Structure 1
């Protein structure tokens, strides 16, 4: 361990003694934890030296001790966060001190932004060789996302931690079985700010890309159709539309029977209209995906397109028909003829819309190609 300056060295020793021997009051606990946080912020050498002096275990114990008082516990969370920032070894020290095992005792602090940031920092260990256990971490993150009164910045930190875990193949199964999919599709989450909705859809997209079980669970979730249609209707967020259209494609193609059922459940919720708007107004990537999904809707449900998009001929009075047949047979023949005309008209409209959407995507690609080509120097 490298030498630390005299003033900070003395402060470190005092902080270590106070944490190791215990404090008499909540204020003293908070002051000792605050001093550790200040020292950790002062310079990188001090930050690396503090865990070697044994400050991490008492801070973790203070955080989990309900009798220490809210002020002292939050001060401990902030101190641990300062120690964890940018230092792989310190994060390992914090996990080995039992932070994740103590999470069930921290549910009363689940709304704390500092605690959420600490868990986000620790979750980055999932992208390293360190064997990070998610058995206690995932339930805490999911439980934090569920209440409606959790601040948006705390939700974002928890979603970022879930993103770290879902990006690692070995943790995806645990993410699916933790109930995260249901929590991420809940209206209470996706109807919030653009940033929260985009982060939630990003986690779902990661899970859908890596897990067949995750795709099946999403496709069968009762909230999925409405959640995806509403996400595609977020015209202010290209990220939401891109992730939502990706999810529809992934679930329809890889969600088994549930994927096909998902498309059928989405149709009466306005999926076709939302996709048409995305295909004309969305980002190039979202437009391309929307055009593909529209083709699936067209190929898979001609009768339903007619039933939902056109007039309901069964409820209308039959038009007058003049022919040799009369009575009921003539009426049925007349209705069939009108139905065929309506179907042909709708098919023509759909093909026209599809051509416009495809042309829009092709034009964007052509513009990008011209722009990239024009940036190259011409041969002399």
Structure 2
């Protein structure tokens, strides 16, 4: 009699291997549920050992709190039964069953913080990430919504999503998506981008392409703000500046900074990039700079935007005569005077610093030709002297025009403002201004 043939357990396609895998999965769930049930039973016994409080009502029957404990225990057991069925359907069910399971997982993760960790331990994250790649819009949307709930406040779950390949599941063309789907993807990516300070490579072209596509599309303001939040999280790491600049993020951020609804987050991201060498060069070479930033400083109803714009201009103007010359030609001096008088304390401080640089630079240019000449200084030719005098006259004329324009603006505002501001305008003169 020939010996029986031993089944090949190493073959992943054999029925023996599939059965063995299912048994291991169900044993894992059973042990998990038994552990949770034992913890709950011990906690219930501790509570029942104490003397129960009796609530007495003359018109109703006496009802101890023990019954409430039993009802809560029963509902908790029902919840774990729902969890068991949902996880089973998500792993081994049909697409319809997977859809129902995703709905239950979304509800469980939203209602219970501890459940998010338990669901991740049962391996639902890779299955949901796989559903994101489905061609059926309903399945994909449910999977994204469930992942959003699982990622809420849970660092480990976000890391599991990245390891499962969620970035590769991002749609390549955002224009084929409806607004709600764009918003869901943007919300998920913004939540995952908080891992920027970890070892995960989140500046992949997939993420940047998706974010850039949403910002350039006709998506709503809320969706665009989520994408700007993603870029801000990525820009907090200086090592990510190169990838962001290379993918054309600076131009997009400057365009978003010109819109009041999205300006603050865009300027905050530019503030992170301008302190890097590549980010500063990209801003210096952009044709929108410095005009767009100077325009933002005139927004009286957006003090935070004024502060951020002044900060970026400070970085650009520091030790760069070329940038200061561009700013002067763009008319930054009267704007700085206005901000220094009427904006928030931080914006005033930054505006005064910039004005000091322009004042020092002007004095350095006209200093050798003003006042008595020393023996060490060379007397120039009459032609050079005439040029110096003409330059002094032109500079005085520019300063007077700037101050006059600024005083007109302040006077116009003072017509409807407080008496304190009116008194400031009436008593102000060119001599009382800081510069």
Give TM-score scaled by structure 1 length: 0.73
Return the offset for 1:219. 1.1
Q: Do the aligned partners of 2:133 and 2:169 also contact (CA within 8 Å) in 1?
A: yes
Counterpart CA distance in 1 for 2:325 and 2:431 is 20
Please list the CA deviations of residues 236-294 of structure 1 after superposition, one character each: whole Å capped at 9, or x if unmatched: 1111111101101101226xxxx544444444443222222111111111112112223
Alpha-carbon offset, residue 227 of structure 1: 1.7
Q: 1:264 to 1:10 in 2, by over 3 A?
A: same
Q: Distance in 2 between matches of 1:7 and 1:250?
A: 60
* Superposition map of 1:1-380 within 5 A: 3=36, 5-24=76-95, 30-65=99-134, 67-69=135-137, 71-105=138-172, 107=174, 108-109=176-177, 111=179, 112-127=182-197, 129-135=198-204, 136-147=206-217, 149-186=218-255, 189-194=256-261, 196-209=262-275, 211-253=276-318, 260-300=321-361, 341=393, 343-344=395-396, 346-347=398-399, 356-357=433-434
Query: What's the CA shift for 1:150?
Result: 1.6
Change (3 A) 1:266 1:346: closer
CA contact (8 A) 2:334 2:402 kept: no
Alignment partner, residue 328 of structure 1: none
* Cα distance in structure 2, aligned partners of 1:337 and 1:263: 23
CA–CA separation in structure 2 for the residues paired with 1:31 and 1:105: 27
Question: Could you tell me whether the CA contact under 8 Å between 2:202 and 2:234 is conserved in 1?
Answer: no
Q: 1:130 to 1:353 in 2, by over 3 A?
A: farther
The answer to whether the Cα contact below 8 Å between 2:263 and 2:305 also exists between their aligned partners in 1 is yes
Provide structure 2 residue ranges, at least 5 long, that are not aligned to the other structure.
Answer: 1-31, 38-75, 366-384, 404-428
Name the CA distance, whole Å, in 1 between partners of 2:187 and 2:234: 15
TM-score normalised according to structure 2 size = 0.64
- Long gaps (5+) in structure 1: 305-332, 359-380
What is the Cα-based RMSD across aligned positions, in Å?
Answer: 3.2
Aligned residues: 316
**Secondary structure of 2:36 counterpart:** coil
| Inter-CA distance 120–335: structure 2 relative to 1 (3 Å threshold) | closer
Q: Distance in 2 between matches of 1:95 and 1:103?
A: 12
Query: Higher helix proportion, which one?
Result: 1
Distance 1:7 1:242 in 2: 55
CA distance in 1, matches of 2:129, 2:310: 43
- 2:245 counterpart SS class: helix
Q: Of the two, which has the highest radius of gyration?
A: 2
